[in-house]
Amino acid sequence: MKKFLILCAFAWVATLPACDDGPVYEDAAAASPDGITLRLTGNLQGIESWSEEYSVVAAGFGESDYAVISRKITPDSDGEVSLVLTGIGSEVKRLELCVINRLRKRIVSFTSVDCSVASERVDMEVGTLDVSMFRAIQQNIFDAYCIQCHGGSAMAGAGLHLTEGRSYEALVNMPSTKSSDGALLVQPFDVANSFLHTTLNTDISLTQNWRMDHVNMVQFPDLLALLDDWIAAGAGK
Ligand code: HEC
């Protein structure tokens, strides 16, 4: 996995020029009246792989999963990003490089930084980062819920390896061993006929007495939708 650097530079402002009544000494812990400014720099690869339901953004979050403030990231043709998000209010506690859906709900996060003590400016330098839809799936679904039985240890259920570097080739356009009608595990553009979808969204593993029950293996509808949307968009890498 690529390492990235989060540089969180808090500009502790001691004095601010005031309009007419001499210098004003600001409480360093309090956000400035105009809010915090986030500057995000880095090289981001794979943004174009996201389907239109999603946006890769720099965003601020308070207590909930819904962005209080966000700005869509549009890298140049080399992937270079230099984005400034201003006016971040004190209700924002975390700043993230993340993916939100149309309701501005966070679906996955690539980088997150606590900004509750920042007074003026936060620099987020993320280095070179793969933020593709498939990497989000790898990290947030396969790594989190699957690899302990699918290649992360000595065992790979049904011979299926879902570990990073092997999962894509093991799934896309590959025949399923458990399906009785020769379905592919992932058939690009066809969610209903992709056996990966059937495995996680139906009770087939129960009714066919698999050695492992896959019902409720992923309990987050947003993540199941992410997988389906990836297939529907053509299952790109
Ligand atoms: C606790 C172990 C375990 C976990 C966790 C697990 N699986 Fe499985 N999986 C298995 C086993 C074992 C089989 C084979 C079942 C059998 O042969 O009866 C299997 C079979 C499958 C198959 C059928 C493969 C084929 O070729 O038809 C798919 C697809 C699958 N798993 C996907 C997943 C995904 C995706 C996750 C994570 C969200 C996951 N599994 C998590 C153990 C697990």
Domain limits for position 65:
15-129
**CA–CA dist 235, 221 (Å, integer):** 19
Which two tokens mark 75? 């890298």
Neighbours of 230 (CB within 10 A): 24
Q: What is the CATH number of the domain that holds 48?
A: 2.60.40
Please check whether residues 150 and 107 belong to one and the same domain: no
pLDDT at 154: 84
Please check whether residues 19 and 93 belong to one and the same domain: yes
208 CA closest ligand 1 atom index: 18
Please check whether residues 29 and 123 belong to one and the same domain: yes
pLDDT surpasses 50 at 1: no
- Cα 105 to ligand 1 centre (Å): 29
Please check whether residues 34 and 125 belong to one and the same domain: yes
Calculate ∠ Cα 190-191-195, nearest 5°.
Answer: 105
Place of tokens 């620099």: 123
- Domain C-terminal end among 129, 147, 176: 129
The residue whose CB lies within 8 Å of the most ligand 1 atoms, and thus the one to mutate among 143, 160, 197, is: 160
Q: What is the pLDDT of residues 154-211, one digit of tens each?
A: 889 999 999 999 999 999 999 999 999 999 999 999 999 999 999 999 999 999 999 9
Please check whether residues 119 and 23 belong to one and the same domain: yes
Instruction: Look at residue 7 and tell me if it is in a domain.
Output: no
pLDDT at 155: 87
Domain count, the chain: 2
Q: What is the pLDDT of residues 54-106, one digit of tens each?
A: 999 999 999 999 999 999 999 999 999 999 999 999 999 999 999 999 999 99
Please check whether residues 115 and 140 belong to one and the same domain: no
Please check whether residues 122 and 208 belong to one and the same domain: no
pLDDT at 118: 84
Q: What is the pLDDT of residues 223-235, one digit of tens each?
A: 999 999 999 999 9
Q: What is the pLDDT of residues 128-145, one digit of tens each?
A: 999 999 999 999 999 999
pLDDT at 119: 82
pLDDT at 127: 97
- Domain C-terminal end among 91, 107, 129: 129
Cβ-Cβ contacts under 8 Å for 46 (sequence gap 6 or more): 130, 131, 132, 133, 134, 135
User: Exposed, middle or buried, 74 (CB in 10 Å: 0-12/13-18/19+)?
Assistant: exposed
Q: What is the pTM of this model?
A: 0.87
Instruction: Look at residue 123 and tell me if it is in a domain.
Output: yes
Instruction: Look at residue 9 and tell me if it is in a domain.
Output: no
